[in-house]
Amino acid sequence: MRPKRYDWRTGCSVEATLSVIGGLWKAVILFHLLEGKRRFGELSRLVPGTTQRMLTLQLRELEADGVISRTVFPEVPPRVEYELTEFGRSLEPILLTMRDWGLSFQSRRLGEPKPAKDLAA
Amino acid sequence: MRPKRYDWRTGCSVEATLSVIGGLWKAVILFHLLEGKRRFGELSRLVPGTTQRMLTLQLRELEADGVISRTVFPEVPPRVEYELTEFGRSLEPILLTMRDWGLSFQSRRLGEPKPAKDLAA
DNA sequence: CTGGATCCCCACGGATACTG
DNA sequence: CAGTATCCGTGGGGATCCAG
């Protein structure tokens, strides 16, 4: 049995949140879905560093949690679109807050002349 | 250093944020530190599901990133206190947003008699 | 184009014992 | 009390091939 890492029942509220968006690339995926529907290939390009396999797995879990919807178009070149559900959209405040902090963090780091410990971090 | 999972330089803003709080239990740890200083043993109890080793590792990384400070009291029964730095406190909006969503999620789930995957409204 | 199925490996993380 | 050191198992995730 997989005791999972996070337990939304016994854990604190943050832990509950992580049980949904705690996956490796979930937050990043959801962030890119804020702007609208995305095809699999788009997400693949938007999230470099992840493999197709990982992307698929993460998308499946998000779908299972009711955060995103998956629409398959029965076309000859297959097309699949992922979209936030109403429930998934409720995560927007979190994602936007993370984006804001990230932007600030990035510019802060870029402004630093020399990192204290060049290799790490 | 290994390319790690997240790269705040090449990735999107959310990815940059995850490079700091993306660790397994980092968000949970930081959340508990919002209320003030915590001793190692306290955190250990506050974050069930994590081992001392993991807790130590996560704390070390957070410290290396300048998010928390570690104070050692040279007492006979050793005492170590962890506290958010000013920089770490800048993460508060994220943590609080996650807490809020988690609370809502928990109560929502508790009210559900059966898991519903199709939620139109 | 969008994945599913498989194989494989290592590094992540658990458990335990020890120390200042 | 607050770790560190060590060993070790596992499963997470990469790579590859195949399919609709």
- Report whether pLDDT(B36) > 90: yes
pLDDT for residue A20: 95
What is the Cα–Cα distance from A47 to A29, expressed in whole angstroms? 7
Q: Which residue, among B33, B104, B21, has the nearest Cα to A8 in the 3D structure? A: B104
pLDDT for residue A120: 36
Alpha helices in chain A (DSSP H): 13-21, 26-33, 40-46, 52-64, 86-89, 92-111
Rounded mean pLDDT of chain A?
Answer: 89
| Bigger pLDDT: B41 vs B119 | B41
pLDDT-derived band at B39 (thresholds 50, 70, 90) equals: very high
Q: Which of residues 53-112 of B touch A (CB under 8 A)?
A: 64-65, 90-91, 93-95, 97-106, 109
Contact at CB, A32 and B48, closer than 8 angstroms? no
Q: How many CB pairs lie under 8 A apart between chains A and B?
A: 139
Alpha helices in chain B (DSSP H): 13-21, 26-33, 40-46, 52-64, 86-89, 92-111
Contact at CB, A14 and B5, closer than 8 angstroms? no
Q: What is the pLDDT of residues B65-74, one digit of tens each?
A: 999 999 999 8
pLDDT-derived band at B121 (thresholds 50, 70, 90) equals: very low
- Report whether pLDDT(A77) > 70: yes
Q: Is A22 exposed, middle or buried (0-12, 13-18, 19+ CB in 10 A)?
A: buried
Chain A closest-CA separation from residue B21 CA (Å): 10
Cβ(B93)–Cβ(B16) below 8 Å: no
Please list, residue by residue across B55-94, b when 16 or more beta carbons sit within 10 angstroms of its beta carbon and e when fewer do: beebbebbeebebbbeeeeeeeeeeeebebeeebeebebb
From chain B, pick out residues whose CB is under 8 angstroms from the CB of A28: 11-12, 14-15, 18
pLDDT for residue A55: 94
Amino acid at B118: D
Q: Are strands B68-73 and B38-39 parallel, antiparallel or unpaired?
A: unpaired
pLDDT for residue A75: 84
Q: Which secondary-structure segment (H or E) carries B84?
A: strand B79-84
| A-interface mutation test, from B4, B8, B98, B119, most A Cβ less than 10 A away | B98
DSSP 8-state symbol, A7: -
CB-CB neighbours of A33 under 10 Å: 24
Q: What is the pLDDT of residues B75-92, one digit of tens each?
A: 888 999 999 999 999 999
pLDDT-derived band at A121 (thresholds 50, 70, 90) equals: very low
Q: Which protein residues, judged by their CB atom, are less than 7 Å from any atom of strand D?
A: A 2, 24, 49-54, 78; B 39-42, 52-53, 56, 59-60, 70, 72, 77-80, 82
pLDDT for residue A1: 37
Rounded mean pLDDT of chain B?
Answer: 89
Nucleotides of D under 7 A from a protein CB: 1-6, 12-16, 20
pLDDT for residue A2: 43
Q: What is the pLDDT of residues A24-70, one digit of tens each?
A: 999 999 999 999 999 999 999 999 889 999 999 999 999 999 999 99
Q: Choose the closest CB to A15 out of B6, B28, B93.
A: B28
Chain B closest-CA separation from residue A68 CA (Å): 11
Rg (CA), chain B: 17
What is the Cα–Cα distance from B59 to A50, expressed in whole angstroms? 26
Verdict on whether the full-model pTM lies above 0.85: yes
- Residue B73 phi/psi, 5° resolution? -100, 120
Average pLDDT over residues B103-113: 89
Q: Is nucleic acid strand C under 7 Å from B2's C-beta?
A: yes
From chain A, pick out residues whose CB is under 8 angstroms from the CB of B31: 12, 14
- Report whether pLDDT(B58) > 90: yes
Average pLDDT over residues A68-90: 93
